[in-house]
A and B are shown apart, each in its own frame.
Chain A
Amino acid sequence: MSEPVTRKLMLFFPTCECEKPIIYHLVKDYDLLVNVFRAKVTPKEEGYLVLDVTGMEANIDRALDYLRTFNITINDTGKGLTWDEKRCCHCGHCVAFCPTGALKIPDPATREVTFDGEACIECLACIRVCPYGACVSTF
């Protein structure tokens, strides 16, 4: 038997799908642990949801198939927040504000800033402090 795995997903709901209890089904029908980082779901409008799902690989795949039966766009790179490497000036101002170390300076010699999307919890602190607009939220 394999171990449970965690996958980060970003879901985009068009207007018509916003009122369905999708998370409930992910938990109940597919036995997934759901950890929502950030959500913007307004009835009669578009919605976004960034979440971790933890469970058996096969169950996650079945859950994704279930999600695809709706008119939902699934982005399994999971990025509701993007870091534009070209726009980044590598000053490191954000690093002191990033609570998980997703933005960090791994090599003290080059002092280059790197971004690890897996570690990002989308608190958006970087967006507030970056003078150059290098971090952008999808929603």
Chain B
Amino acid sequence: MKTYAEINAKIELGDAVVMTADEIMDYVDRKGIDAVAEEVDVVTTATFGPMCSSGCVLNFGHSQPKIRMTEAWIADVPAYTGLAAVDVYLGATQLRHADPANMDYPGEFRYGGGHVIEDLIAGKTLQLFALSYGTDEYPRREIRTYFTIHDLNQAIMVNPRNCYQNYNVAINDSDRMLHTYMGQLEPNRRNANYCSAGQLSPLLNDPLYETIGIGTRVWLAGAQGHVYAEGTQHAGGCERTEGGVPMEGAGTLALTGDMKEMRPEFVRGASFKGYGVSLAVGVGIPIPILNADVLRRTCVRDSEIMAPVVDYSHDYPEKTGRVMTRVSYAQLRTGEIEVEGQPVRVGSLSSYHKALEIANLLADEIRRGDFLVSEPLRKLPRDVAMLPLDIRPEPS
């Protein structure tokens, strides 16, 4: 048994023993759970993949004379201005002005909100264009200028939903090509795509939300950020295996962090043909080894984590709830799964390679004493389910 304070004391002295979730499994197999629970202080987890519910709050500071922006575009991508005068929110999936979208199906979606966020973090110069109706105290009605992230007062990433605990494997049970946020899905189940770091993914290593909660310090694209809330669509009350591992989407995290401290290689704008734009984000989360149970759960292997195979031609869009089969991440990583007796090629949208890099970077920061673990201010709920949106013909 260790406390957060004891673990942090060791980290500050540079004495903490840290391993990645990728390394810990074999280590525990060799040395036994109780011995390792004593020895190891922190296990690092990570994930890197497209996370559409991401975005940022930017504050531009005031021009002379001042403007209260009512419409704003950054590099021709609209930003939300329903905030104070020079605050905007830019979302990852926002399309660029006049993007033809799917009018010429499948649309290319070469540039959008996610790319603006990547360019900002890379330090590029971007154009701001904003309009206003003009008020007594904010008389300016139009502004066009160029800026970098260094010119902003704040550039804070605010991602309402990241780090899905588990996710669907997408497949196409129809006879036409599909273009989805899960990539290209060829007809007649010719391929399938998955999107999770599996045994390295944060919430799969803490399936019961024992150490990751609201207030937990996280590594967000290189910055020290935090979990600020449960993620949207968080559904902790899902079906689980005996070991507590969710069989479907389940938990999510809402994350925030200072973009000025982020590294561009861990924030990437993404274009999904026929779907739109998004942002791939790298997240690392340390799990303090408080006891042997917490450690045991970080030893989860790809072979023990099951993902539902879902048809994206009918069952996903029509919300039928049908799961074609369940496969383990160990099977997915071989590049081929079997669906109803038929072999199916498999690709990934989540980068295990980048996730490993992040888990190692975070482990190094902790070993150097630069990254402390934090006790959650509040636990993530375990009992909530996801509500549907009922279509009601009249108010009631």
Contact = CB atoms under 8 A, between A and B. Distances in A.
B273 interface: yes
Interface stretch (B220-228, B283-291, B308-316, B342-350): B342-350
B349 A131 contact: yes
B332 to A, nearest CB: 11
Given A95-B347, A96-B335, A96-B345, A110 B353 contact: yes
B184 interface: yes
Contact of B346 (A96, A129, A131, A133): A96
Interface residues of A, number: 21
A113 B352 CA distance: 10
B183 A129 contact: yes
A113 B48 CA distance: 15
B353 A131 contact: no
A97 interface: yes
Task: Give the residue among A91, A95, A128 with the most B Cβ atoms within 10 A.
Answer: A91
Contacts of A86: 265
Contacts, number: 70
B184 A131 contact: no
Contacts of B49: 91
Given A112-B353, A113-B353, A133-B271, A89 B280 contact: yes
B91 interface: no
Contacts of A108: 333
Interface in B158-199: 183-184, 191, 193
B278 interface: yes
A108 B278 CA distance: 27
Contact of A97 (B48, B347, B348): B347
A110 to B, nearest CB: 6
21 contacts: A90-B351, A91-B48, A91-B354, A92-B348, A92-B351, A93-B193, A93-B348, A94-B347, A95-B335, A95-B347, A97-B191, A111-B352, A111-B353, A111-B356, A113-B353, A128-B184, A131-B183, A131-B270, A131-B280, A132-B270, A133-B110
